[in-house]
Amino acid sequence: MKFEIMRDKLLEGLSDVMKAISQKVTIPILTGIKIEVNEKGLQMTGSDSDITICTSIPVEQDGEQIIQVMESGMIVLQAKFFSEIVRKLPTNEVVIEVTEGMHTHIRSGKSEFHLIGSDPYEYPVLPEVSDEHRMSLPSDLIKSVIRETVFAVSQHETRPILTGVHWELKDGELVCVATDSHRLASRKTRPEQVPEQPFSIVIPGKSLQELNKILPDTLEPVEIIFADQQVLFKTRNVLFYSRLLEGNYPDTSRLIPSEYKTSVTVNGKQLLQAIDRASLLAREDRNNIVRFSAEGGNTLEVSSNSPEVGKVEELIEAQEVTGEELKISFSAKYMMDALKAIDGQNIEVHFTGTMRPFILKATDNDSILQLILPVRTY
Amino acid sequence: MKFEIMRDKLLEGLSDVMKAISQKVTIPILTGIKIEVNEKGLQMTGSDSDITICTSIPVEQDGEQIIQVMESGMIVLQAKFFSEIVRKLPTNEVVIEVTEGMHTHIRSGKSEFHLIGSDPYEYPVLPEVSDEHRMSLPSDLIKSVIRETVFAVSQHETRPILTGVHWELKDGELVCVATDSHRLASRKTRPEQVPEQPFSIVIPGKSLQELNKILPDTLEPVEIIFADQQVLFKTRNVLFYSRLLEGNYPDTSRLIPSEYKTSVTVNGKQLLQAIDRASLLAREDRNNIVRFSAEGGNTLEVSSNSPEVGKVEELIEAQEVTGEELKISFSAKYMMDALKAIDGQNIEVHFTGTMRPFILKATDNDSILQLILPVRTY
């Protein structure tokens, strides 16, 4: 194998692949990156067995020659060293050559690196994803869907299925739901092109977080192809594979109340900042609980009390308060996560009593719904 | 105590004082900030017993009223909570009031915080520094002196005196030296206004690092006042006290060779980058050693070899190489620290043989000198 490549393009592809690399893998070869070069260009693959990322760099792009292939071939190089070397090379031209015994030479300017590679035939093959189910979504929409749901997945392995986000397609609508059983985040969207059959998959939260880092904030279409155990997100130059979680996701639709006793319309940013301040003194406590009350006209009060430190009282003018008077307590962290996900000018909060879950949504948009279970303190 | 203050000014002063706050203090009251307000303005003090920082905010500055004092007084507030609260207040007007029983109220917009303060009379008094020795240096010069020396202090408490930087005034010249006994950094400067008597003090490295964060990058004069056990750096609004290290600093002048066998003149940045790359594969090893050789005309070679990972070879064209051929090994980290401190276009490296310390300095400037002990590998 021997080729010359532009360092900045190599670095670009490498930084995507590196997102799949973990030092904690049990299969030693997965600490490496598989590099394959042929007349079409360069392919690099990184994997931690749950996630596999594969980037392609074409020989030519936009009329510019990026790679000059002298000899096709494959090698696996230690990801950590290879990426650090490429990052620090002195010039933008890099020659990579593999000689006998997997000796790999990386030359740039007056620098020469010599790494001992590993056998590329020992590297796991890419997962096979039959393309029976596929749909396409704009990249920036996928990023929004991830940001608005993934924070609510469970961090505990006691119910592994809850560490993923449930993506379900029904009647042409894609519903994405995450819950850790104390709160729930839901996002609906109608893809332009949908598969004929309904589907239901659970994608690990961690995979979606890495996917979010790789996808561009553009309208570029991303193809999503899924089979029983794998999902593949496909952009122009990147293949992102993730393992799916096995098992049935709980039916969460019946958790969402449809009748309300108290409803509040308020500026989302004001409420977020007030809760942030109210929780300042409560952060030491395990639960980080704030109290919320709507008892006098349109004035809301958010407060907290930590006997050893002090207390905080925040008043907020709501646009509208309807229904019964209310006193309720909840996790400041969950509330702030939910408000950040909605990120709306004006939001509605609908309560069904002190001990029942309440929901949040934007006043002008039904696609995002956030649900939080209160805490008993009053 | 009751006063109103502009939040941004309060925050500015607070961020300096917070640099002295440590959660690891043994005296509980030092987790707090002492706040004192009188007709002149506001004074805040933070301390970890080694360092004490005291900032003043005047009632009026540049014709603008910053503080309105309704009632003088003092209180000690938990530093962590107080600074977080001030940072997140909703408006730029803050009213702070202490009522009976050290109950402290912080009001801004529709937020009200209530903290339980501590007795200000339990807070340690400021160190007394008699002003028999004093001099003045521009703030940016002090920052340079710190950056060029402090990295070389010892990180180990086996010889406590080496954890500080030695500041010595002799014949009108201030010489600042740090060494961890494997390398040495020295910086000379001639202050415009010097005390009549020579002096010799050892300032803890940690204090100088905090001082560097507080001082502005301007020509503003800083007064330096020192006594037997304390040094005080005084700017317009900040008093920075540091404990001094006790004991005699070793005489380091005899370590510095005055005769050389091999001398090299080379671009400092090129050498720094080459050593950075050459050490990439050696970082796992405890010592992070690179080899350096000057054996063929003006071409220098920097290389390293980590049997399990691979090897690197770097060639650098020097401007000039004089004297004997040389092969030497040294810590890449020490060399990079020294090159960063000199930060010169062209640097000179003078060697006195494979096992003798070598020195680095800028070609056009004698004020900084760096010394490194080699490692035996050849």
Across the interface, which of B111, B115, B310 has its CB nearest the CB of A113?
Answer: B310
Chain A residue numbers with beta carbons less than 8 Å from the beta carbon of B78 are 309
Mean pLDDT of B255-269: 95
Phi, psi (5° rounding) for residue B231? Answer: -125, 145
**Structure confidence at residue A132 (pLDDT):** 72
Across the interface, which of A273, A308, A312 has its CB nearest the CB of B113?
Answer: A312
A280 to chain B nearest CA, in Å?
Answer: 7
Q: In chain A, which residues touch B (CB < 8 A)?
A: 78, 81, 84-85, 88-90, 104, 110-116, 273-274, 276-277, 280-281, 308-316
**CATH classification of B133-253, choosing from 3.40.50.720, 3.40.50.2000, 3.10.150.10, 3.40.50.2300?**
3.10.150.10
**Structure confidence at residue A237 (pLDDT):** 94
Contact A88 B311 (CB under 8 A): no
Q: In chain B, which residues touch A (CB < 8 A)?
A: 78, 81, 84-85, 88-90, 104, 110-116, 273-274, 276-277, 280-281, 308-316
User: What is the sign of the dihedral through the CA atoms of A14, A17, A22 and A26?
Assistant: negative
Instruction: Please name which of A314, A297, A317 lies closest in space to residue A305, comparing C-alpha atoms.
Output: A314
Chain B residue numbers with beta carbons less than 8 Å from the beta carbon of A276 are 88
Residue-wise pLDDT tens digits, A15-64: 999 999 998 888 999 999 999 999 999 999 999 999 999 999 999 998 99
Across the interface, which of B104, B309, B315 has its CB nearest the CB of A78?
Answer: B309
Residue A378 has pLDDT above 60, yes or no: no
Instruction: Please name which of B191, B204, B257 lies closest in space to residue B230, comparing C-alpha atoms.
Output: B204
Inter-chain CB pairs, A–B, below 8 Å: 88
Task: Name which of A97, A110, A303 to mutate to probe chain B: the one with the most chain B Cβ atoms within 10 A of its Cβ.
Answer: A110
Residue-wise pLDDT tens digits, A62-121: 899 999 999 999 999 999 999 999 999 999 999 999 999 999 999 999 999 999 999 999
Q: What is the dihedral of CA B253, B256, B258, B259, to 10 degrees?
A: 150
Residue-wise pLDDT tens digits, B293-312: 999 789 999 999 888 888 99
Q: How far apart are CA B337 and CA B360, in angstroms?
A: 11
Domain coordinates in residue numbering, chain B = 2-122, 133-253, 256-372
Strands (E), B244-323: 262-267, 289-296, 299-306, 310-317, 320-323
**Structure confidence at residue A19 (pLDDT):** 96
CATH of domain B2-122: 3.10.150.10
Which residue in chain A is spatially nearest to B83 when comparing CA positions?
A: A280
Contact B312 A112 (CB under 8 A): yes
Residue-wise pLDDT tens digits, A164-218: 999 999 889 999 999 999 999 999 999 888 888 888 999 999 999 999 999 999 9
Instruction: Grade residue A285 by pLDDT with cuts at 50, 70 and 90.
Output: low
Same fold, B2-122 and B133-253: yes
Chain B residue numbers with beta carbons less than 8 Å from the beta carbon of A88 are 273, 276-277, 280
Instruction: Please name which of A335, A194, A185, A215 lies closest in space to residue A275, comparing C-alpha atoms.
Output: A335
**Structure confidence at residue B195 (pLDDT):** 82
Task: Name which of A7, A112, A273 to mutate to probe chain B: the one with the most chain B Cβ atoms within 10 A of its Cβ.
Answer: A112
Across the interface, which of A85, A113, A276 has its CB nearest the CB of B88?
Answer: A276
Listed as own residue / partner, the contacts of B223-229 with beta carbons closer than 8 Å and 24 or more positions apart are B223/B134, B223/B135, B223/B136, B224/B134, B224/B135, B224/B136, B224/B137, B225/B129, B225/B131, B225/B133, B225/B134, B226/B129, B226/B133, B226/B134, B226/B199, B226/B201, B227/B128, B227/B129, B227/B130, B227/B132, B227/B133, B229/B127
Instruction: Grade residue A343 by pLDDT with cuts at 50, 70 and 90.
Output: confident
Chain B residue numbers with beta carbons less than 8 Å from the beta carbon of A114 are 310-313
Q: Give the number of residues written for chain A.
A: 378
Token digits of residue B218: 């301007």
Mean pLDDT of chain A: 94
Q: Which of A12-21, B28-37, B190-199, B200-209 has the lowest mean pLDDT?
A: B190-199
Residue B378 has pLDDT above 60, yes or no: no
Residue B80 has pLDDT above 80, yes or no: yes
Contact A114 B89 (CB under 8 A): no
Residue-wise pLDDT tens digits, B44-57: 999 999 999 999 99
Chain B residue numbers with beta carbons less than 8 Å from the beta carbon of A274 are 90, 111
At A339 the three-state DSSP class reads helix
H/E element holding B328? Answer: strand B326-331
**Structure confidence at residue A68 (pLDDT):** 97
What's at A334, amino acid-wise?
Answer: Y
Which CATH topology does A256-372 take? Proliferating Cell Nuclear Antigen (3.70.10)
Which residue in chain B is spatially nearest to A284 when comparing CA positions?
A: B81
Which residue in chain A is spatially nearest to B87 when comparing CA positions?
A: A277
Task: Name which of B280, B288, B300, B317 to mutate to probe chain A: the one with the most chain A Cβ atoms within 10 A of its Cβ.
Answer: B280
Across the interface, which of B84, B104, B312 has its CB nearest the CB of A280?
Answer: B84
Across the interface, which of B276, B310, B316 has its CB nearest the CB of A115?
Answer: B310
In order of A256, A378, B74, B127, B333, the CA distances from A292 in angstroms are 20, 10, 34, 47, 55
